[in-house]
């Protein structure tokens, strides 16, 4: 023990001489904003998130006046740059502006010595109507400082506005953005479900298009929701190995208690997920920019435009008999509304409605004499809604909204639960047509495989391997450019928890392709081995002109890393 400690300590001293700050990043396309446009960059906030639980950063933000008339911009990006040095868990970050959630992120776990830094450039062009006026900007980043946790997230957020011109016309924008939020003025505006979250919303009477965007992430006992077991099979499993309520999750939107649409969530793995050292310096896909979900609520225009408040509900349901999930999911959303040029009320009716309130599901189990347990959960959900409406200016619209979604989840609990594997696949097609023109389209496929092997009976050391994809051909609404992303991450690593300092390693191979309807392209192949970038090629017309020098950081000791496993097990 003494020798080992000495060795580790010497190693640390050597590293502090030779190492450099670790630059973490999530692979993503650079925002397709015009680089040659006039730009105005303003600082929104600067904050050291130390003990910040319940103490969000709340500032007033006003748009620039020297990049054209407010709202006339061709694009807007946010630059989040954070440094940290010490020990800390990953934390969720929720950006709210004008009571609308505009970005959900999470923090890479820091390390001590030279620490870490990351920058993420987020495209917020679709929120131009919010940025056109002064308002309250809130960054909620609930961090804890306590014995054993001293990592502070030192955070700066800038906004860059891109002026429009003949070459770069103003970005398309909604006439109005309506929050589906808690309207809190002192913290993030997402709601914690269960129970379901409902609010009353009043739409303009001349609405002719209503497009929803939804935010959702599983946290607490729902962080590894895809590893949860159906309640009926829990008695077959070794105790404490995972949670109940099954692995199927469906985000539902209801209008006046009638189902309007659903989303099968992508499984974002946070950077403390299972093997923290696998997610350095390449984070899991989505960790810095969680995907959101898009539905066309236009078929409900006939119900919503009477000038009265209407109840809209967001909830998360499971495949269990009572459809409930554990604590907790953070959800919020917004409606991008298009209004008619006349002030007159839109009139119409829902012509056809075919949707079960919940997905159709099945579950089966196979148990072996040796105690092995395998189970499978499947789900499908089909929705078809048709409406017709006539705008005040005399345009009639026939709108259809169709969703056809499939889901399967197979889990293996082998060798007394020391092997725990999940094979999940959520996929589907969603499309809305307005007079036969596609308005919203989402073809997605999210295969996920994770194999965990515990190497000691007390669970203090383990291996895991991940194969995770995000394939999505998405047109979010007629206001937002459609894009296609093919993303795959294959990664694996080892982690050991010890009072003398956690150790671990990891490899990560990330392949990413982006193409959009405006002709922008971006590709990246990047691999890492134990904090070192071993291969990195970017391509496409969005690729940076000068490619960043890859950093080499050799840190064998991961004192800063905290791992979490399914079932709330372990581990600090
Ligand atoms: C982002 O902001 C940081 C400072 O907070 C700055 O150093 C960096 O250059 C900015 N990155 C871009 C791409 O604007
Ligand atoms: C990180 O924090 C440690 C103390 O925990 C300190 O010794 C070290 O100098 C810090 N590194 C940087 C880059 O500030
Ligand atoms: C937030 O502030 C707005 C405007 O002052 C107010 O209408 C709203 O009720 C406040 N929200 C809460 C939850 O207090
Ligand atoms: C919506 O408004 C109705 C009528 O004023 C009220 O009874 C109901 O509680 C409100 N619902 C919510 C979720 O605020
Ligand atoms: C469970 O699945 C594993 C992996 O496919 C297989 O080797 C094993 O035989 C299965 N056991 C049972 C009881 O179904
Ligand atoms: C499982 O645990 C039992 C009792 O603790 C033990 O006898 C058996 O050898 C273990 N089996 C395996 C495959 O580890
Ligand atoms: C866990 O068990 C391993 C041996 O299998 C041992 O080396 C280690 O100290 C144990 N860890 C804890 C925290 O008990
Ligand atoms: C997980 O284990 C299965 C069965 O042994 C194997 O086919 C699959 O490739 C493994 N997954 C990863 C990501 O290594
Ligand atoms: C990670 O550590 C484990 C355990 O020491 C070792 O077996 C494995 O080869 C290491 N992997 C890499 C990529 O260094
Ligand atoms: C990381 O790269 C540095 C510099 O090339 C090298 O010295 C070090 O051995 C590498 N570390 C690993 C774990 O490969």
Question: Is 354 near ligand 3, meaning CB less than 6 Å away?
Answer: no
- pLDDT of 458: 85
Provide the pLDDT confidence category of residue 311 given band limits of 50, 70 and 90.
very high
Q: Whose CA is nearest to atom 5 of ligand 7?
A: 456
**What is the enclosing helix (H) or strand (E) of 354?**
strand 347-355
Does residue 421's CB lie within 6 angstroms of at least one atom of ligand 8? yes
pLDDT band at 560 (very low <50, low <70, confident <90, very high): low
**Token pair of 51 as six digits:** 């003990």
Are residues 120 and 271 in contact, defined by beta-carbon separation less than 8 angstroms?
no
Q: Is 256 in the pocket of ligand 10 (CB under 6 A)?
A: no
Q: What's the CA-to-centroid distance between 571 and ligand 10, angstroms?
A: 28
Tell me the best of 78, 139, 158, 543 to mutate to test the pocket of ligand 1, counting ligand atoms within 8 Å of each CB and taking the most. 158
Q: Ligand 4, from 195, 198, 255, 309: best to mutate by most atoms within 8 Å of Cβ?
A: 309
Q: Report the separation in Å between the CA atom of 97 and the middle of ligand 3, taken as the mean of its atom positions.
A: 13
Smallest CA separation from ligand 2 atom 1, residue: 113
User: What is the pairing mode between strands 116-123 and 22-24?
Assistant: parallel
At residue 8, the pLDDT reads 26
At 363, list the tokens. 């579950």
Cis peptide before 571 (omega within 30 of 0): yes
Residue 343's pLDDT is 94
Q: Which atom of ligand 8 is nearest to the CA of 490?
A: 13
121 vs 161: CA distance, rounded Å: 13
Q: What pLDDT, on a 0 to 100 scale, did the predictor assign at position 2?
A: 25
> Which residue is it, tokens 């949707």?
355
For residues 533 and 557, what is the distance between their CA atoms, to the nearest angstrom?
18
Kindly indicate the confidence band of residue 7, based on its pLDDT and cuts at 50, 70 and 90.
Answer: very low
What would the pLDDT profile of 462-521 be if each residue is shown by its tens digit?
Answer: 999 999 999 999 999 999 999 999 999 999 999 999 888 889 999 999 999 999 999 999
Q: Domain count for the chain, please give it.
A: 1
Predicted local distance difference test score (pLDDT) of residue 557? 43
pLDDT band (50, 70, 90) for residue 523: very high
For the ranges 19-28, 359-368, 375-384, the lowest mean pLDDT is seen at: 19-28
Is 185's C-beta closer than 6 angstroms to any atom of ligand 3? yes
Residue 38, SS3 per DSSP: coil
Ligand 5 atom having least distance to the Cα of 366: 14
Alpha-carbon span 385 to 298, nearest angstrom: 10
In the chain, count H helices and then E strands.
3, 29
Question: Does the beta carbon of 154 lie inside 6 Å of ligand 1?
Answer: no
Indicate whether 570 pLDDT > 60. Answer: no
423 lines ligand 9 (CB under 6 A): no
Q: Say if ligand 4 is within 6 A of residue 202 CB.
A: no
C-beta 88 within 6 A of ligand 2: no
Decide whether any atom of ligand 6 lies within 6 Å of the 311 Cβ.
Answer: no
Q: Which ligand is nearest to the CA of 556?
A: 10
Query: The whole model's pTM is what?
Result: 0.93
Q: What is the pLDDT of residue 13?
A: 28
Q: What is the pLDDT of residues 43-54, one digit of tens each?
A: 999 999 999 999
From the CA of 81, how far away is ligand 1's center (Å)?
Answer: 7
Asked if 540 and 523 count as a contact pair (C-beta separation under 8 A), the reply is: yes
Ligand 2 pocket, residue 85 CB under 6 Å = yes
Could you tell me the distance, in angstroms and rounded to a whole number, from the CA of residue 157 to the centre of ligand 1?
9
- Residues above pLDDT 70, as percent of the chain: 93
Cβ of 15 closer than 6 Å to ligand 10, yes or no, is no
Look at residue 229 in the predicted model and tell me its pLDDT.
Answer: 98
- Look at 458 and 5; give whichever has higher pLDDT: 458
> What percent of the chain has pLDDT above 90?
89
Bridge partners for 282 per DSSP: 25
Q: Ligand 9 pocket, 463 CB below 6 A?
A: no
Question: What's the 98 CA to ligand 4 centre distance in angstroms?
Answer: 22
- Could you tell me if the CB of 219 is within 6 A of ligand 9? no
Q: Whose CA is nearest to atom 9 of ligand 3?
A: 183
| Ligand 4 atom closest to the CA of 199, numbered from 1 | 13
Give, for ligand 8, the residue of 269, 449, 466, 509 to mutate: max count of ligand atoms closer than 8 Å to Cβ. Answer: 449
Mean pLDDT of 377-387: 98
Average pLDDT, the chain: 93
* C-alpha distances out from residue 536 to 281, 467, 509, 522, Å: 13, 19, 10, 13
Q: Which residue has the tokens 């040095």?
A: 85
User: Can you tell me whether residue 131 is helix, strand or coil?
Assistant: helix
Separation of alpha carbons 52 and 65, rounded Å: 33
280 vs 560, more confident: 280
Q: Map residue 22 onto helix, strand or coil.
A: strand
User: CB of 505 closer than 6 A to ligand 9?
Assistant: yes
With a 6 Å cutoff on the Cβ, whether 8 touches ligand 10 is no
Going by alpha carbons, the residue nearest to atom 6 of ligand 6 is 416
The boundaries of the domain holding residue 476 are 2-571
pLDDT at position 5: 24
Q: Name the residue at shortest CA distance from atom 1 of ligand 4.
A: 200
Nearest CA to ligand 5 atom 13: 368
pLDDT digits 0-9 by tens, 216-255: 999 999 999 999 999 999 999 998 899 999 999 999 999 9
Q: Ligand 10 test: best mutation among 503, 532, 534, most atoms within 8 Å of CB?
A: 532
Residue 14: its H or E element: helix 2-18
CB-CB contact of 196 with 253 (8 Å): no
Mean pLDDT of the region 144-165: 96
pLDDT for res 547: 53
Contact present, 460 and 497 (Cβ < 8 Å)? yes
**Rounded CA gap, 404 and 566, in Å?**
30
DSSP 8-state code for residue 9: H
- Would the pLDDT of 62 be above 70? yes
465 CB near ligand 8 (under 6 Å): yes
Residue minimizing CA distance to atom 4 of ligand 4: 309
The answer to whether the CB of 309 is under 6 A from ligand 4 is yes
Give the model's confidence band at 19: pLDDT under 50 very low, under 70 low, under 90 confident, else very high.
low
Q: Contact, 188 vs 56, CB < 8 A? A: yes
The residue nearest atom 10 of ligand 9, judged by CA position, is 505
pLDDT at 563: 76
| Ligand 5 atom with minimal separation from the 374 CA | 1
Q: How far is the CA of 200 from the centre of ligand 4 (A)?
A: 6
pLDDT for 358 = 98
């Amino acid at each position: 023990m003494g020798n080992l400690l000495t060795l580790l300590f010497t190693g640390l001293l050597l590293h502090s001489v030779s190492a450099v700050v670790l630059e973490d990043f999530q692979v993503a396309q650079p925002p397709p904003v015009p680089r040659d446009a006039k730009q105005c960059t303003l600082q929104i906030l600067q904050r050291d998130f130390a003990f910040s639980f319940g103490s969000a950063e709340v500032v007033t933000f006003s748009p620039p006046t020297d990049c054209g008339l407010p709202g006339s911009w061709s694009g807007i990006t946010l630059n989040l740059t954070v440094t940290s040095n010490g020990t800390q868990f990953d934390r969720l970050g929720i950006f709210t502006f004008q009571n609308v959630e505009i970005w959900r992120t999470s923090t890479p776990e820091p390390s001590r010595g030279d620490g870490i830094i990351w920058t993420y450039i987020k495209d917020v062009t679709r929120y131009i109507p919010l940025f056109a006026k002064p308002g309250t900007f809130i960054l909620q980043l609930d961090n804890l400082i306590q014995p054993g946790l001293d990592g502070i997230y030192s955070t700066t957020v800038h906004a860059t506005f891109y002026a429009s011109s003949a070459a770069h016309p103003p970005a398309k924008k909604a006439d109005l953005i309506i929050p589906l939020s808690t309207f809190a003025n002192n913290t993030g505006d997402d709601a914690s479900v269960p129970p379901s979250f409902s609010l009353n919303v009043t739409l303009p009477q001349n609405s002719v298009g209503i497009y929803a965007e939804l935010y959702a992430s599983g946290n607490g006992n729902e962080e590894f929701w895809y590893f949860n077991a159906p309640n009926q099979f829990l008695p077959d499993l070794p105790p404490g190995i995972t949670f109940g309520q099954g692995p199927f999750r469906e985000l539902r939107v209801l209008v006046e208690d009638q189902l309007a649409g659903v989303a099968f969530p992508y499984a974002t793995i946070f950077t403390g997920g299972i093997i923290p050292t696998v997610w350095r310096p390449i984070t899991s896909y989505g960790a810095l920019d969680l995907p959101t979900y898009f539905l066309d609520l236009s078929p409900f225009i006939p119900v919503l435009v009477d000038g009265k408040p209407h109840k809209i509900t967001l909830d998360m349901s499971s495949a269990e008999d009572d459809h409930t999930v554990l604590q907790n999911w953070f959800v919020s959303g917004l409606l991008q509304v298009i209004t008619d040029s006349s002030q007159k009320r839109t009139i119409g009716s829902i012509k056809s409605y075919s949707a079960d309130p919940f997905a159709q599901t099945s579950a089966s189990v196979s148990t072996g004499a040796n105690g092995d347990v395998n189970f499978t959960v499947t789900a499908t959900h089909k929705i078809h809604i048709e409406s017709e409406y006539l705008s005040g200016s005399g345009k009639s619209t026939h709108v259809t909204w169709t969703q056809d979604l499939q889901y399967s989840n197979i889990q293996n609990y082998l060798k007394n639960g020391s092997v725990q594997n999940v094979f999940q696949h959520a996929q589907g097609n969603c499309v809305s047509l307005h007079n036969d023109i596609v308005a919203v389209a989402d073809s997605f496929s999210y295969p996920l495989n994770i194999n965990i092997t515990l190497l000691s009976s007390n669970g203090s050391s383990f291996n895991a391997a991940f194969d995770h994809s995000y394939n999505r051909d998405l047109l979010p609404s007629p206001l937002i450019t459609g894009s296609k992303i093919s993303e795959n991450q294959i990664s694996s690593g080892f982690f050991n928890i010890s009072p003398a300092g956690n150790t671990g390693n990891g490899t990560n191979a990330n392949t990413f392709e982006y193409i959009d309807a405006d002709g922008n392209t971006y590709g990246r192949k990047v691999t890492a081995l134990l904090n070192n970038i071993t291969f990195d090629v970017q391509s496409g017309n969005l690729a940076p002109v000068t490619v960043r020098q890859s950093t080499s950081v050799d840190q064998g000791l991961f004192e800063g890393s905290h791992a979490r496993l399914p079932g709330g097990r372990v581990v600090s």
